[in-house]
Amino acid sequence: MLIRWASARPWSPAALFAAGEVGAWYDPSDLTAMYQDAAGTIPAAVGQPVGLLLDKSQGVASAEQIVNGRFDSDISGWVNAGGGTLAWADGDLQITVTGTAGFAAQSIGGATPGGRWYRMSGRARVVSGGGNAQAYLWDGTTAYGASAAITSASWTAFQTFVFLPATVTSAVIRLRAGITGAVVEFDDVSVVSVAGNHATQSGTARPTLMQDAGGRYYLAFDGVDDSLSAAGVNLSGTGKVVVVAGLLKASDSAIGVVVTHNDPISSTQGWMLTAPTVAGTADFGFRSRGSGSAALASFADASVAAPRLAVICAASDIAGPEVSLRINGLMRATTSTSQGAGFFANAALSIGRRASGSPFNGRLYSLIVRGAASTAAQVEAAEAWVNSKTGAF
């Protein structure tokens, strides 16, 4: 007897990126994917600000960049970068500071370390001499993602997420020990590259992680200064994009930028999802631009007046040309106005606000950006998944 087994595995937005499609998948319902600070040192909980929102489109896949971070039998792989002596000490790397600070280092990222995210972690302790321990990435000029200085005699863990700019062509992890005469030890050191277009913010401009009455998680954007930004989202190889956002629009009084790529699109190629698009109007809209002028698909109607919970699916094809806007699974606006030619850019993705203002006032339950041609089935699956996190229809 032939038995056919149906897959019980639920559909995941990860399927949209399985072939290496560029984009991002932000999921505020995943509490393992958010941190209070941009450096990713403190996990975020409900009622707390979110300074780092991990992009799950690449599965937050990680690849170890260094060798021998556990120092099980020796300190091979590490070089003395000056200021002290290095020794193996019963499973740890020990630095005795002879200058003002001593350093151990190891290359990371191969020939192209720039333009990528890394998670640096480990633990350290000060054995004697009243010194301190710190780790950071170093390109020969600038320190990136420096951990907080550890001064305790007890083993203290550190973890930092850090983005190396695309201009960085070589980098090392530096283990730093200060001060003169101090003896400091490191163990369990790791630097992994963390795939994805992770979004960050700092200060009061961080959105707040919240839960609605139905238990659904969302990021609250205050309509004043809240936003998140992901650097270097590379859509330069495509002129097609689909954006699916689960949101609650809290107000129609002022223009609200939900998400935009390569702001400002008035002068360069890019796209922008707005809620509302026109101040004082009950609408949603999506603009997209190639080498020409921006084309707008918008839907204005009392049925979408704020406060309005909605799953928005916006799509653009520069070459089509076509811009479309679906609301809660229904096609509400399309335009075939020319956007010019070409592809989108390798540029920042801004969530909740553009550089010049127009902050979004509302909630973001989920956001998917996919820089590729998408089938109707893919769009509908993405809408259904986002709606499961939003409860809009």
- Footprint on this chain of other proteins (rule: CB under 8 A): 36-39, 42, 47-49, 51, 201-206, 208, 222, 224-226, 254-255, 257, 264-266, 272, 274, 277-279, 285, 287, 294, 354-359
The nearer residue to other proteins, 15 or 279, going by C-beta atoms, is 279
Q: How far is the CB of 88 from other proteins (least distance, A)?
A: 34
Q: How far is the CB of 51 from other proteins (least distance, A)?
A: 8
Q: How far is the CB of 328 from other proteins (least distance, A)?
A: 22
Q: How far is the CB of 256 from other proteins (least distance, A)?
A: 9
The nearer residue to other proteins, 100 or 112, going by C-beta atoms, is 100
The nearer residue to other proteins, 54 or 372, going by C-beta atoms, is 54
Token pair of 76 as six digits: 């091979």
The nearer residue to other proteins, 86 or 205, going by C-beta atoms, is 205
The nearer residue to other proteins, 143 or 384, going by C-beta atoms, is 143
Cβ count near 344 (within 10 Å): 28
Written in H, E and C, the secondary structure of the chain is CCCCCCCCCCCCHHHHHCCCCEEEEECCCCHHHEECCCCCCCECCCCCECCEECCCCCCCCEEECCCCCCCCCCCCCCEECCCEEEEECCCCEEEEECCCCEEEEEEECCCCCCCEEEEEEEEEEEEECCCEEEEEEECCCCEECCCCCECCCCCEEEEEEEEECCCCCCEEEEEEEECCCCEEEEEEEEEEEECCCCEECCHHHCCEEEECCCCCEEEEEECCCCCEEEEEEECCCCCEEEEEEEEEECCCCCCCEEEEECCCCCCCCEEEEECCCCCCCCEEEEEEECCCCCEEEEEECHHHCCCEEEEEEEEEECCCCEEEEEECCEEEEEECCCCCCCCCCEEEEEECCECCECECEEEEEEEEEEECCCCHHHHHHHHHHHHHHHCCC
The nearer residue to other proteins, 43 or 129, going by C-beta atoms, is 43
Q: How far is the CB of 316 from other proteins (least distance, A)?
A: 15
Report the alpha-carbon distance of residue 321 to residue 314 in Å, rounded: 14
Q: How far is the CB of 300 from other proteins (least distance, A)?
A: 13
Q: How far is the CB of 68 from other proteins (least distance, A)?
A: 31
Q: How far is the CB of 228 from other proteins (least distance, A)?
A: 10
The nearer residue to other proteins, 81 or 257, going by C-beta atoms, is 257
The nearer residue to other proteins, 95 or 295, going by C-beta atoms, is 295
Q: How far is the CB of 39 from other proteins (least distance, A)?
A: 7
The nearer residue to other proteins, 27 or 226, going by C-beta atoms, is 226
Report the alpha-carbon distance of residue 17 to residue 55 in Å, rounded: 12
Report the alpha-carbon distance of residue 48 to residue 293 in Å, rounded: 40
